Amino acid sequence: MTNQFDEKRRTFDAGKIWVIKIGSSLLTKDGEGLATDLVSDWVGQVAELKRSGIQVVLVSSGAVAEGMSRLKMKKRPVSVQLLQAAAAVGQMGLIQAYESKFQNYGLHTAQVLLTHDDLRSRERYINARGTLNNLLELGVIPVVNENDTVVTDEIRFGDNDRLAALVSNLIGANTLLLLTDQVGVLSADPKGNENAQLIEVTTANDSDLDAMAGEGSAMGRGGMVTKISAARIASRSGANTVIASGIAPQVISRLGKGEVCGTLLLADKEVLVSRKQWLAALTASGEITLDAGAV
């Protein structure tokens, strides 16, 4: 499946505007607070990108896990209200960690909390785009997270893959890098197939990816279902997506130098104009039923 795209992988140019999403499975130490050593490593690599002229927006999970650690919660709460409280406490630790470590490189961060409702409103969508672009022009690294203290869907079901893709649309990113605890997209579930192989490169809308990602919970197999969906959203604005292991040595820096680790999903659809990107991302809020008499 990858042969026709091998040359594109070898000559890949990630461009000058990136969105990097770091999942909670990487950020937390077995669910017990932030993995500060890994955060330091990623921050150093992002700082290297900045020195080379690349603009970066971070989309970072991990607020709930960090809040649980600070509040000494032994188990993930079932109550949505307690989850939201943990997220509120943990978000402080998350942004403090990023800010303190980026300051070592003379860089500043900005906390940007968004909800899907913010991006559903056209006016707020445009305002969010303006804010992010202004921050980038000022040399600041925006750290984006879903506003878990007021949103229940993200806490209950998913992560920030979709949000990262929408941010890619917002700022016209060239590359969406999804860092996970998996090496990339595999041809089969390695637990049941010892011959499973890494898919090195294909297109975001390759229909074969759906079977490889599997069905069911987005938490299964590293959340590949949501990551492939995110790659397809990002492709609407022309962004290529890389899904890679966040613990691979120098994974961010190597990509900045043109070396792709993990799976490269190439944008393969006509780029939509900004308003159509916004419309395509809207979720349904109702339905129309036509009976035989109406048609």
Residue 100's identity, in one-letter code, is S
CB atoms within 10 A of CB 88: 16
pLDDT for 159 equals: 65
For 55, the enclosing helix (H) or strand (E) is strand 55-60
What are the per-10-residue average pLDDT scores of the chain (295 residues)?
66 90 84 85 98 96 88 88 92 94 98 85 90 97 90 58 93 96 85 83 90 50 80 93 96 94 88 60 61 64
Specify the pLDDT at position 157.
38
- CA distances (Å), 241 to each of 5, 9, 263, in order? 14, 12, 8
Long-range contacts of 211-217 (CB under 8 A, 24+ apart): 212/185, 212/186, 212/187, 212/188, 213/185, 214/189
| pLDDT at residue 254, rounded to an integer | 95
Where does residue 161 rank: exposed (0-12), middle (13-18), buried (19+ CB within 10 A)? buried
Q: Both tokens of residue 19?
A: 């969105």
Predicted local distance difference test score (pLDDT) of residue 101: 97
CA distances (Å), 162 to each of 19, 59, 88, 140, 286, in order?
12, 10, 21, 23, 21
The pLDDT score that the predictor gives to residue 50 is 97
Closest of 252, 223, 66 to residue 159, by C-alpha: 223
For 195, left (φ over 0), alpha (ψ -120 to 50), or beta? alpha
CA Rg, the chain, in Å?
19
Domains of the chain, each with CATH number or no CATH: 3-281 (3.40.1160.10)
What pLDDT shows up at residue 219?
32
The predicted pLDDT at position 6 comes to 72
Q: Cα–Cα distances in Å, from 282 out to 122, 162, 180, 278?
A: 10, 12, 26, 7
Q: What is the pLDDT of residue 155?
A: 44
Q: Starting at the edge strand that comes first in sequence, how are the strands of the sheet with 201-203 ordered? A: 109-114, 141-146, 55-60, 17-22, 175-180, 240-245, 263-266, 201-203
Please give the distance of CA 141 from its chain centroid, rounded to a whole number.
15
Tell me if residue 39 falls in helix, strand or coil: helix
Q: What is the pLDDT of residue 278?
A: 53
> What pLDDT was estimated at residue 229?
92
**Predicted TM-score of the model (pTM):** 0.87
